[in-house]
Structure 1
Amino acid sequence: MKNGDVQTASRVTAGVTFAARLAFEDIRHAFGAGVETLRGITLAAEPGEVLCLLGPSGSGKTTLLRVAAGIESQSSGRVLLNDREIAGPSVFLPPEKRSIGLVFQDFALFPHLTILDNVRFGLTALSGDEASREAMIALSRVGLDHYAASYPHVLSGGEQQRVALARALAPRPAVLLMDEPFSGLDSRLKDTVRAETLAILRESRATAIVVTHDAEEAMRMADRIALLKDGELVQVGRAEDLYLAPTNLFVAAFFSELNVFHGRVKAQAVDTPVGKIPVSGSQEGARATVAVRLTGFEVSESEGQIEARILSRRYLGVVELLELAVSGAETPVRARVRAGALSAKARDIWLSLRQSDVLMFETPRESA
């Protein structure tokens, strides 16, 4: 295994010229005369902030990144860098004029160029000596200056990702855009390379916007997360805001596996197969959706609130994944419990609900 995969080499630290605020104002985009891919996005990445654009495939997150980079033109709206319009009704700066760096999903390294030449490729405004010096500083920043004369094929995936990051940082951009930068890495390397990348972003002080479809990755990296669906912003906030106080069931399900139950409010509670859930502020008789995270159950072989029968159990190391038959539930109830909480022979058990893992949403009238 290469050293670059398991440990961080010594790095120099060199800050960018300034950290900028990148703002989107009512951005709309459509391919041809088709359906809009972005529907009025208003969002800002603050100076020095790591902002993650999170969402499923087709939600518009990569398109928004390409609009910021100048690779795509919005149908309407404005993009501003430190309150200066760089794309709008009367202005469209080309990508090379925006002081915005871009790291592609596939790294996009040139196989016929050395690592040093790959990194200095975009430094066309500098003399050859100055470009080499800046490229070496960027390589040192990611701990790979000792590979300057090598070619991309000798590097591991994690090292190639860091070279792509060095190339984007070499011009010292005010904003760095990263499109699913870790998706091509082996799962065992992701945590290490992600942590290294975050440390480099903090040192360089660039404002960064990172696209991902992985909620855990967004929570690990972001100062704030912007969750998109069908070209619209659904919720923006810190990881704990979206996890603890999701605005709707879509947000909740993006951050946790859920058991979902439907019912009506009666005497300030909703009766579900896993217990009576208290409700506040809802009208009597209103339809409600109750979501219970898989971690929301305590299990016992002797006592609890709800009887259940184990249909299947899968050992996952620290936890076990259970499928349970519960009276009144149309589909099996799923639970993640601490491994060893139940004996090997357990079949009929008791459940107790952990209220902190219960979420309540009003059911929209149109789906009632």
Structure 2
Amino acid sequence: MTSSFEEDFAKAASLVREGNHIDAVGVYTSIAADDSSTNGEKVRAYSNASACYAAREQYTAALDAAKKALQLDENNSKVHGRLATAYHGLKHYEEAAHHYGRAKELDPANTFYSQQQQAVLLLIRDGKGIASQETKDAYYYRKGIEQGKEAMGKGEYLSAVRHFSKAIELHRKCATESNNSNNSNSNNNNNNNNNNNNNNNNMTNKMSDLAVLLCNRSAAYSRLGRYAESLEDGMKAAEVHPMYARAFFRIGYAQHHLKHPNEAHSALRRCLELDANHSEAKSLMTEVEQVVADLKKTAEEKQREKEEQVREIREMQNAERVAESMQGNSTGYRGRAHATSYTHCSYCNDAGHSRAECPLLRRKRSRTS
């Protein structure tokens, strides 16, 4: 099958030399769509189709074809060159400069990429070009993060929720833009294992960024007392990045305030397993452990504690009665008994002494005598 595709590539190249770019695109599209074509052949076909579209100044179609090639191989200098050419033609100079730079990193010997990058950088410096939707999204993504952090610092938590929500919404489009530019590899060998590794790294970075944003919004919700929403964001963060300690702290904090001590304890324990020096988690864990310990006490332990409290109260009452009795003996009459005394005077209708001991009755007798 490979030899037949080589014949197709040769046929398409001949059509290009004749200036018949449309038919050439048809051949390249057929190769890319064939289930038996290899990954490398598909990349080559999409890349060449992009070049044909660019030759006809159909830059939107050229960009679409180049993006399909990029999805299959992110470390192909020629593919980045195709993307740069398409963006250049669309006057999206920031994206063009980025992909020319990436192509130059992957193929330093090709001076064309360096020259074209310098050309579009000059255009950017002169304020030329059109901001693409990608550029706008990336701007508002970064702006949302900055404004969210600023609002948190000012205590404007509702505004922080709004800004972080906007950044989360734009995350899928923008989060890995800077990451892609840092994944340089000077060996352009189209090795599938290398491609898979880079794709995995990009995905990890993307998920890390999303987890941070979710935790930021979780913290804002928490400051507003909206713990159920805070918990939801914390759980989403832990789902996309299971090794992020802060996500589990946010879960634990929300569960604690929702009166779910066992769940809070589990989340905080996981947080400290991932980051033993997490000071906030340590502090909260001390409080949560006490609550959990109280819940684990048996009925007998609780009954013993209750009996001990009753015993202590009775001892205090007895001590008070003894002290009052001694005071009464020293002054010649008994002081007023503690209210818990069962003695009741039928003369003055008061508690704490009998009728014979009633001080009012004594005074009455002394006057009559």
Q: Whose strand fraction is larger, Structure 1's or Structure 2's?
A: 1
Higher RCO (CA-CA < 8 Å; seq separation 6+)? 1
Work out whether the TM-score is over 0.5.
no
Give the TM-score of the pair, scaled to structure 1. 0.28
Which entry has the higher C-alpha Rg, 1 or 2?
Answer: 2
Greater helix percent: which structure?
2
